[in-house]
């Protein structure tokens, strides 16, 4: 066996164990009994110790030194293994295990604190998770926030993201303000049965390419996608008064899941066999949800599908329905935000978490800082913690550095959508029939099948044929909402 073969065999076993870890987290958020939280934390901590030992195994350094890549994919495998090995070796094993245990416990506490509107109950756990993640950032070296961000978007820096946001914010706010000055469309009003919502959600997931033979749809407090290869699971949530919450969360998570399901099977259980970054991942889910799922063409089909599922929908016609789907309002919930406010939600979280990591903001002051910033950016107060600082799961599970990838994903999606429109002149006709398969097929071929073969920005530039820029996203938003609101 060559050094390359030995290295890949080791990496495959490590990836298989990482998938088991993912299944433990999926179960924790969907089906695990509440009383099992402490034991689950120990299980996750123990498995993290095993994974860390494998990632830092001294033989990996020897294999990397001796390995010769057989082809371009092999060279990419070595690049990713080298990156993961170097990163893992900087983090002490006991710290990696402690982070796994603390975040497992904090996630359960967060869910209960969110339900009970009890920030004080969550703060000690947030403080501990933050302490551990700061310790990890110090071990990794360099700028602390950049060290954490690199885990989700390799090559990106906090300064780059801040500069991007500084360019986007004035244009977003100007468009938002013009829209809010225009007459607002009527929202849907009605009661939409849970079973009918979930039935339509399953149909939507399949239309967008999700393979239920290799996945399943469940309910969770915070929708997410989990897994890879032959086992990729998605979750959604149901509000009988708001069917869009369920339907568009499902389309969004199907975007993540079909990315994982579409990666070249030859890369399965290797470093190449997963999405290359969270920004690229979000580009798929946001494009599925917004440019495709909230388009006028697809909304025409969805209006008829909802009438069939629920009887009266609460909109007079397809045009009124399309306006309701894309209604702009300064709501508090990120996952329910319209396309104009969504990036403003991310900018708020990005600034707050950078301040937390830098030590400029203490956890005890986070709620007040959140509420003040939200009022300044959105013009309305935060009514309760579940609408504010407790709404997202990310900080409870230690995902500091993750939030900006949502907005970066929107930027990537804008680039890809421009190329997609040029490549598929009949796209609107397809979407009007409820058939996004040509679009999802193009994304599968241009982005998804490559897995981790290319660096994130290089992949988007290769697929879109242009340098990454926020311009296509902003032009899309201005055209769409300018027409919708008669600006």
Nearest to 115 by CA among 332, 396, 391: 391
How far is 348 from 341, CA to CA, in rounded Å? 11
Structure tokens at 118: 């009890």
Among this protein's residues, is 253 annotated catalytic? yes
Please choose, from the candidates 412, 459, 423, the residue with its C-alpha nearest in 3D space to the C-alpha of residue 76.
Answer: 459
3-state DSSP assignment of residue 41: helix
Distance separating alpha carbons of residues 203 and 195, to the nearest angstrom: 13
Distance of CA 221 to the CA centre of its chain: 15
Is residue 217 classed as helix, strand or coil in its secondary structure?
Answer: strand
What is the separation, in whole angstroms, between the first and last Cα of the chain?
Answer: 66
CA separation for the pair 321, 180 (Å, rounded) = 18
8 A C-beta contact, residue 369 and residue 377: no
Element (H, E) at 74: helix 72-90
Q: Which residues of 29-68 are buried (b: 16+ CB within 10 A; e: fewer)?
A: bbebeeeebeebbebbbebbbebbebbbbeebeebbeebe
- Cβ–Cβ < 8 Å for 459, 150: no
Instruction: Please provide the size of the chain in residues.
Output: 487
Q: Give CA–CA dist 245/201, Å, rounded.
A: 10
The structure tokens 């302490």 sit at: 131
Rg (CA), the chain: 22
Choose, from 153, 253, 339, 367, the residue flagged as catalytic: 253
* Side-chain half-sphere CA neighbours of 233 within 13 A: 18
Q: Active-site residues: which are they?
A: 253
């Amino acid at each position: 066996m060559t050094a390359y073969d030995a290295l890949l065999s080791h990496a495959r076993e490590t990836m298989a164990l990482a998938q088991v870890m993912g299944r433990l987290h999926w179960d924790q958020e969907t089906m695990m009994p509440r009383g099992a939280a402490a034991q689950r934390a120990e299980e996750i901590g123990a498995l993290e110790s095993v994974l860390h030992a494998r990632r830092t195994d001294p033989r990996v350094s020897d294999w990397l030194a001796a390995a010769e890549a057989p082809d371009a994919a092999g060279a990419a495998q070595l690049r990713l293994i080298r990156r993961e090995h170097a990163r893992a070796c900087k983090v002490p094993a006991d710290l990696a295990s402690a982070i796994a245990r603390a975040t497992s416990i904090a996630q359960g506490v967060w869910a209960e604190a969110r339900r009970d509107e009890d920030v004080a109950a969550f703060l000690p756990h947030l403080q501990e998770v933050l302490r551990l993640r700061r310790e990890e950032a110090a071990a990794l070296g360099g700028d602390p926030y950049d060290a954490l961000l690199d885990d989700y978007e390799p090559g990106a820096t906090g300064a780059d993201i801040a500069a991007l946001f500084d360019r986007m914010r004035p244009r977003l706010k100007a468009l938002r303000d013009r829209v809010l000055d225009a007459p607002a469309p009527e929202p849907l009003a009605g009661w939409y049965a849970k079973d009918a919502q979930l039935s339509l959600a399953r149909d939507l997931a399949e239309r967008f390419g999700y393979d239920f033979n290799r996945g399943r749809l469940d309910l969770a407090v915070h929708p997410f996608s989990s897994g890879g290869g032959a086992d990729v699971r998605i979750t959604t949530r149901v509000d009988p008064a708001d069917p869009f919450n369920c339907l568009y969360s499902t389309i969004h998570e199907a975007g993540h899941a079909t990315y994982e399901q579409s990666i070249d099977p030859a890369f399965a259980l290797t470093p190449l066999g997963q999405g290359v970054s969270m920004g690229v991942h979000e580009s798929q889910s946001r494009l599925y949800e917004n440019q495709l799922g909230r388009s006028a063409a697809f909304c025409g089909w969805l209006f008829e599908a909802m009438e069939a599922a629920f009887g009266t929908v609460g909109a007079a016609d397809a045009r009124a329905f399309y306006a309701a789907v894309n209604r702009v309002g300064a709501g508090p919930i990120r996952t329910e935000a319209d396309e104009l406010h969504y990036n403003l939600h991310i900018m708020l979280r990005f600034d707050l978490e950078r301040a937390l990591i830098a030590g400029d903001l203490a956890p005890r002051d986070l709620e007040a800082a959140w509420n003040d910033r939200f009022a300044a950016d959105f013009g309305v107060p935060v009514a309760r913690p579940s609408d504010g600082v407790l709404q997202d799961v990310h900080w409870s599970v230690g995902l500091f550095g993750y939030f900006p990838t949502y907005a970066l994903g929107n930027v990537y999606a804008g680039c890809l959508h421009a190329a997609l429109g040029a490549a598929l002149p009949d796209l609107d006709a397809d979407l009007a029939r409820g058939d996004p398969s040509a679009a999802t097929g193009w994304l599968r071929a241009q982005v998804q099948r490559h897995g981790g073969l290319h660096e994130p920005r290089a992949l988007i530039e290769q697929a879109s044929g242009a340098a990454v820029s926020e311009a296509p996203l902003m032009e899309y938003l201005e055209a769409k909402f300018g027409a919708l609101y008669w600006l």
